[in-house]
Structure 1
Amino acid sequence: MKTIYSIALVLFLASCGSSEKPADKKAELEQLKKERTALNGKIEQLEKELGQSKSQADIKEVTATELKETEFRNFVEVQGKVDAEDNVEITPESPGSVTAIYVKVGQNVSRGQVLAQLDDKVLRQNIAQLQTQLELATTIFNRQKNLWDQKIGTEVQYLTEKSRKEGLQKQLSALQSQAAMNKIKSPVSGTVDAMDLKLGQSVAPGSPTGIRIVNASRLKVKALVSENYAARVSQGDDVEVSLPDVPENLHTKISFAAKVIDPISRGFNVEVKLPPSKKYRPNMLAVLKIIDYKNDKALTVPINAIQKSEAGEYVFVAVNGKAKKTDIKTGKVSNSQAEVLSGLKSGDKVITTGFQDLNDGDSVKL
């Protein structure tokens, strides 16, 4: 603009400073037209340069993400703990004092294996006495049977000896069963995880003995899920199990989901079976991410790129160097990504940064 003013000033001074009138008015007019044409050309050039500078200043630099169909998952995240399928604290079946202990901590045991012995001295004496009586009764019965087979003697004598022998057999069987209850046995196969039992210690049914058997090859994760998700979580759902202390992530399925809501916690239990591993231990912390929704061909946008107005949600899409305001409808949100249900298509370039001061139709540079 300074150049324009300078040219005009020069022309003004030239016209004022010349006291002599041109001899030829026609020549003077032609000269002025030429100067005007040159001046108009310079004005147009300057206006063009200024216009380009202004348009360059109006272009805003932005970052855009091209939409592509992708896998979308929505999670229900809960915290649980590792538990053993077989995690048993042993209690005796009969009262008595400990006379022998046959296992130690860390030892592998099988189901039915005797872990400890309770005092059964009196029972063993009674069993020995009954066995002697039974042997005699059996001998008498056999002889009486031989006589009865030969039609010697009476049927009453035969039946009496038979009844006496069978009665002693039942008594002996009962005593042997009672004696077996004085042996503390393992109800499951596994490893002795604790052994606090001492020789001479008195134990009773229902009271813990300090013996714990754990089968570490059959572990599971147990978690409590709020009743709010009762309609979204069920048996067989895909789940991602995270064990922060290992650390390790597993992709598996829910093996069990309770049908009953606990009235106190207002939740229901879910279980996930774990593969055998020496890394896993009962009561270890676990995090479950239960997949309650999935879409293998979803379009997603970052939630921070979505803006809201009275009409609803919208984003800016870069189209031929211009920002286009596009209304959208979103679904679920997961990992800072929102599922787009309508308004966008694959290939659209959604502006993700620099959209704060944009208006519909603004020029943009990616």
Structure 2
Amino acid sequence: MKNWLIILISVSFLLFACKRESQNAGEIGAHVHLNNDVSVFKVPVKIAVAEKGNIQKKITIYGKLLPKQETKLSSQFAGRILNLTLAEGDRVIKGETIAVIQSPQAEALQRVTAEDSLHNNGQNSELVPYPIRAPFSGIVTEKYHYSGDVISAGETILKIQDDAVYYLWGRLPAVYLPDVKVGQQLKITFSDLKGKTFYSKIETVSSTVDNQTQTAQVRATLHNQQHLLKSDLFAKIDIVLQSLKNVLLVPRSAVLENSDGYFLFVKKNGKAHRKKIKPGIEKANTLEVKSGLNVGDSIIVLGNYELKEGMKVEVMH
């Protein structure tokens, strides 16, 4: 009798456990079913409005300033330098006599009588002091000798540079050669001239590509009215390849890409709708849209990666 009682209690316990497990499974199934109903869930997103604006396509290269004119001044005669008072950085004017060269013969004449001096005057061009004149206006960049020094024929005395106009030489990657043309605008900045911006246009584009660097040279001219520029300054050069006005623009984060091309999602009536687009110029975080979108469309810029057509969305504030 005792054994039968134990068996009865055990069977009752098992039946109760099975029933409870069945109820729990039903509850879990109902819960999963509710969560799978996507029509209830709203994806949080951020939006922006498609608007028209201006955009430029540009590239950045680097270059260096070099003088348009620079020369070393020397004498065709040997002799002693006289009247050379210029220092490095001093300014000279075209045609200005910056020094004279006195030949050894002329120095010897100073030791003879005045009559002999008159007798020999004009007999030899080397006896007449030879003037050194500036061929153009500019500044003295290097000084090799001083007044009183004796030099040989052809020996350099000074180097002068025209600082009114400089050439800007830049290195252009060969891949951009088809896009770069004479006349395109340049925006130029120098690390040594903080806060200063200069503008110019491309004057020449070399068709010769350096085999080692795979670059070609481009040249522009910069005028130095304020005397801020100097030779060998390194420059950052922005080349405007294309400039568009009044075109449709969207944030770059709104645009997605797959094997079918580019697309984005717009919010309409609380739902996400996918639109295939044709992109244009891209600049920083902005992209031109050539087709597939309308001005004023509410485009989804955040939360768009997991979206599917028709999903309900809710704008985050």
TM, length-normalised to structure 1? 0.64
Q: Percent of aligned pairs with the same residue?
A: 17
Q: Secondary structure at the match of 1:360?
A: coil
2:307 corresponds to which of 338, 346, 358: 358
Larger strand percent: 2
Quote the Cα distance in structure 2 between the aligned partners of 1:249 and 1:365.
46
Distance in 2 separating the partners of 1:303 and 1:127: 87
Could you tell me how far 1:187 is from its partner in structure 2? 1.6
Shift of 1:240: 1.2
* Residue-by-residue CA offset, 1:23-63 (whole Å, 9 max, x unaligned): xxxxxxxxxxxxxxxxxxxxxxxxxxx98xx7796111211
Q: What one-letter code is carried by the residue in structure 1 that aligns with 2:78?
A: G
Out of 65, 74, 81, the residue aligned to residue 57 of structure 2 is 74
Distance 2:44 2:149 in 1: 85
Question: What displacement does 1:232 show?
Answer: 2.0
Which has the higher mean CA deviation after the structures are superposed, 298-307 or 287-296?
A: 298-307
State the alpha-carbon separation in 1 of the partners of residues 164 and 170 from structure 2: 20
Partners of 2:202 and 2:260 in 1: CA distance: 45
Equivalents in 2 of 1:114, 1:179: separation in Å?
A: 15
Instruction: Say yes or no: does 1:191 pair with 2:139.
Output: yes
Q: Which residue of 1 aligns with 2:183?
A: 236
Question: Residue in 1 aligned with 2:245?
Answer: 296
Secondary structure of the residue aligned to 2:51 is coil
Name the aligned partner's letter for residue 98 of structure 1.
Answer: R
Counterpart for residue 44 of structure 2: 61
Could you say if the C-alpha distance between residues 89 and 203 of structure 1 is closer, same or farther in structure 2, counting changes exceeding 3 Å? Answer: farther
On the 8 A contact 2:266/2:298 being kept in 1, the answer is yes
| Equivalent position amino acid for 2:88 in 1 | V
Letter in 1 for 2:249: T
- Structure 2 residue 263 is matched with structure 1 residue 322: no
In the aligned structure 1, how far is the partner of 2:237 from the partner of 2:128? 48
Cα 1:275/1:104, change in 2 over 3 Å: closer
In the alignment, the residues of structure 2 paired with residue 293 and residue 363 of structure 1 have an alpha-carbon distance, to the nearest angstrom, of 39
Residue identity matched to 2:259: E
| Match of residue 163 from structure 2 | 216
- Cα pair 1:255 1:273 within 8 Å, conserved: no
Q: Deviation per CA, 1:287-315: give whole Å up to 9, x if none.
A: 11110111112223333332222211111
Distance 1:55 1:333, change over 3 A: closer
- In 2, the alpha carbon distance for the partners of 1:255 and 1:218 equals 15
- 1:107 is displaced (CA, Å) by 2.4
Larger radius of gyration: 1
Give the CA deviation at 1:282. Answer: 2.0
Output the CA distance in 2 between the equivalents of 1:263 and 1:339.
34
Q: Deviations over 1:180-203 (max 9, x none)?
A: 7x4332222122233231332424
Question: Structure 2 CA distance, aligned partners of 1:96 and 1:363?
Answer: 93
Q: Give the 3 Å change call, closer, same or farther, for CA 263–130 of structure 1 in structure 2.
A: farther
Q: Is the 8 A contact 1:67 1:348 kept in 2?
A: yes
Residues 252-299 of structure 1, C-alpha deviation per residue, up to 9 Å, x if partnerless? 331511354255564122214245224332222211111011111222
8 Å contact kept, 1:79–1:223 = yes
- 1:253 corresponds to which letter in structure 2? S
Provide the residue aligned with 1:135 in structure 2. none
Pairing 1:245–2:228 present: no
User: Which 5+ residue runs of structure 1 have no aligned equivalent?
Assistant: 1-49, 133-170
The residue type paired with residue 186 of structure 1 is: A
Shift of 1:332: 3.0
Deviates further, 236-245 or 212-221: 212-221
Letter in 2 for 1:82: L
One-letter identity of the residue aligned with 2:42 = I
Report the 3-state secondary structure (helix = DSSP H, G, I; strand = E; otherwise coil) of the residue aligned with 2:163.
coil
Q: 1:255 to 1:112 in 2, by over 3 A?
A: farther
CA RMSD across the alignment:
3.3
Partner of 1:136: none
Alignment of 1:18-167 (within 5 A): 58-86=41-69, 88-100=70-82, 101-122=84-105, 129=119
| Between structures 1 and 2, the one with greater helix share | 1
Q: Return the alpha-carbon distance in structure 1 between the equivalents of residues 289 and 198 of structure 2.
A: 26
Q: CA offset at residue 93 of structure 1?
A: 4.1
